[in-house]
Amino acid sequence: MRVTGRLKLLVLVLAFAALGTVAASSQTDFPNRRIHVILPYPAGGIVDIVTRIVAEKISADLKQPIVIEPKPGANGNLAWNQVSRADPDGYTWTFISPALIANPRMQPSIKWNEESFVPIGGAVWAPSVLVVHPSVPAKTVAEFIAHAKKNPGVLNWSNPGIGTSQHLNTAIFINATKVEMVGVPYRGQPAGILDLLANRVHFAVASPGLVIEHIRAGTLRPLAILGTKRSPQLPDVPTMSEAGYPEINVVAWYGYAAPKDTPAPVVEKITAAFNSALKDDGVRAALEKQLLQVMDPSSPAELVALVKSDVEKYAKVIRDSNIRLGD
């Protein structure tokens, strides 16, 4: 019996050692099979476009296929719920943006939050532009705020969706300036922009790519950019910080994450691949063509700090504005 017991103990020790060797090997030879990126938004949209631009270069560098799988629905929650429960082995990624932080705070029934993921790479800053219909007698942010305060509840603004970066940025603007405007809900930005052109709404926080031609045609007037710097396509339009409102200049960013507990060596290898892609001239040109601002290469720790900073900003505006999603 004593010999049998020793044999069992030896077998267990060897088994655990083998498991440790396999785990270590899986980290050092990562990746050795295809990677899946589960997107919370439809194919053909800006998130899909950015992901494919960056993933193509990363796939070439890592020498493994990267499969893009759009899984829209439930305000992005279907995709994020799936990835939050995926194996933390580095082979399942997802897209992260303000909505990943906002959704659990707007909908308490959600079982995951930003701590269910580990950021693995940044991609771009996604600037927005504050635009008004030309009938609004304001050419600067200060003039618009003064006009809105003289006419409380008269001006309308387009809301492209609860919890979108445009919605949250408008809420930050309203809370900071104490203006009173009426939000008009839309299913996405295009419908709201059409009503802005028709003067049925007066103000919008919009993606530059959707309004730049209207700005050039004079059918919309830009007041400021929510961005880390001025847009090359709109060089005469100041950032919100330059306009005197740095606290409102909250800029959304697009990045990627894996399930929490993904091994640190794997995370570091993926992050290095993202950073390499961001240095590629072809990738940068393709992203900038979408009127996006390419992020500087970031370490895993810097990405974690960026997420924490966003939590503070967006959690506050959701709380102060009492923004909620139905369960």
pLDDT in tens, 228-262: 899 999 999 999 999 999 999 999 999 999 999 99
134 and 177 in a single domain? The answer is yes
Domain-located, residue 235: yes
109 and 151 in a single domain? The answer is no
Domain-located, residue 10: no
49 and 190 in a single domain? The answer is no
Q: What pTM, to 2 d.p., does this model score?
A: 0.81
Q: In whole angstroms, what is the distance from residue 52 CA to residue 116 CA?
A: 24
Specify the residue for token string 């705070």.
105
58 and 108 in a single domain? The answer is yes
Domain end (from 248, 279, 300): 248
Domain end (from 200, 227, 248): 248
215 and 290 in a single domain? The answer is no
43 and 66 in a single domain? The answer is yes
242 and 255 in a single domain? The answer is no
pLDDT for 324: 85
Domain-located, residue 16: no
Those residues whose C-beta lies under 8 Å from the C-beta of residue 298, and which sit 6 or more positions away, are 121, 122, 271, 275, 306
Following DSSP, what letter does each residue of 66-104 receive, concatenated?
Answer: EEEEE---GGGHHHHHHHHTS-SSSSEEEEE-HHHHHHH
Q: In whole angstroms, what is the distance from residue 268 CA to residue 77 CA?
A: 26
Sheet holding 293-294, edge to edge: 66-70, 35-39, 92-96, 252-259, 117-126, 293-294
Domain-located, residue 223: yes
193 and 226 in a single domain? The answer is yes
Domain-located, residue 18: no
For the chain, list residues with pLDDT below 70.
Answer: 1-27, 326-327
Those residues whose C-beta lies under 8 Å from the C-beta of residue 45, and which sit 6 or more positions away, are none
Residue 257: phi and psi, rounded to 5, are: -145, 160
Q: Which amino acid is at 195?
A: D
177 and 262 in a single domain? The answer is no
Domain end (from 220, 248, 276): 248
pLDDT for 161: 83
pLDDT for 27: 56
Total structural domains in the chain?
2
In total, the chain counts a number of residues equal to 327
147 and 241 in a single domain? The answer is yes
Q: Which of 309, 147, 319, 308 is nearest to 221 (CA)?
A: 147
In this structure, what CATH number is given to the domain that contains residue 38?
A: 3.40.190.150
Domain-located, residue 214: yes
In this structure, what CATH number is given to the domain that contains residue 143?
A: 3.40.190.10
Domain-located, residue 326: no
148 and 228 in a single domain? The answer is yes
220 and 137 in a single domain? The answer is yes
Domain-located, residue 102: yes
Those residues whose C-beta lies under 8 Å from the C-beta of residue 176, and which sit 6 or more positions away, are 245, 247, 248
Specify the residue for token string 């998130």.
47
Residue 178 belongs to domain spanning? 128-248
